[in-house]
Each structure stands twice: as C-alpha cells, then as structure tokens.
Amino acid sequence: MAGGEQRALVNRVLWACGLLLVVAQLVDAERLPIKTYTTADGLAHNVVNRIVRDSRGFLWFCTREGLSRFDGYSFTNYGKEHGLPAATVNDLLETREGVYWVATAAGLCRFKPAGKTTGEY
C-alpha cells in the first residue's frame, strides 16, 4: 500500500471514530427508575423464589418466609399464621376462575387471599 493510500485510510478511520464519539454523546437513552425492595419495605423475606403477576395486576412474591402481595405501593404478607402449610413458598398459580394454588415446602394448597387456605392437596 502506498504512503498516500495508507494516510487516507488512517484519516477515514479517525473520522469514523470521531463521528462515533459525537453520536454516542448525542444519544440520550432513557433510564428507567429501578427500586430494590427488601424486608425494610415490607417484603416477607429478601430471598424471592418466584414473582407472579395475577389477573388483577398484583405482583406476588414467593419467599422463604411466606407469600407477599404487592399492589404497587405496599406489601401484604401471608404465612403459616394465615393457613399456608409451610413458610417457604416456591410458586403461585392463578386459575382462569381466579383460584390461587400455592406450592410450599410442605405441599400444595388452595389459597384465598383473605388469609385462609382450604387445606393441603
């Protein structure tokens, strides 16, 4: 490659790098707000096994210390004292009819958010 061609190639590469730097500074990507929730915010436990969104828009957090329902503002917690067979909740399923099934470390139960279960299955 001749000296003139090599110099022209270097100039093109430098221009391309400079253009990329200018464009990168002009691009202002939107940063979405991220909030970390912990037990200090009302979550039942900091270890979350699963997160499920139900048909009503609630987020359910299956944790090692029960089930937490989040309405966008605060948590409502359900545990053994509300009829769950065990503290550790692994999963939650909502049927088409709106019935909640909760999988815990001690078995499966039908759960009513008012706080009572209908037994283990």
For 75-88, give one letter per residue: b (16+ CB within 10 A) or e.
bbbbbeebbbbbbb
> What digits encode the pLDDT tens for the residues 81-97?
998 999 999 999 999 99
> What digits encode the pLDDT tens for the residues 1-27?
566 777 877 778 777 766 666 666 666
Q: How far apart are CA 56 and CA 121, in angstroms?
A: 25
Q: Average pLDDT of the chain?
A: 85
Q: State which amino acid sits at residue 36.
A: T
Q: How far apart are CA 113 and CA 117, in angstroms?
A: 8
Strand order in the sheet with 89-94: 89-94, 100-104, 107-112, 116-120
- Rounded mean pLDDT of 40-56? 96
Strand order in the sheet with 59-63: 48-53, 59-63, 66-70, 75-78
Q: Which residue has the higher pLDDT, 52 or 15?
A: 52
Domain 39-120 fold: Hemopexin (2.110.10)
Locus of tokens 């279960």: 117
| Ordered alpha helix ranges (H), the chain | 3-26
Q: What are phi and psi of 51, to 5 degrees?
A: -125, 130
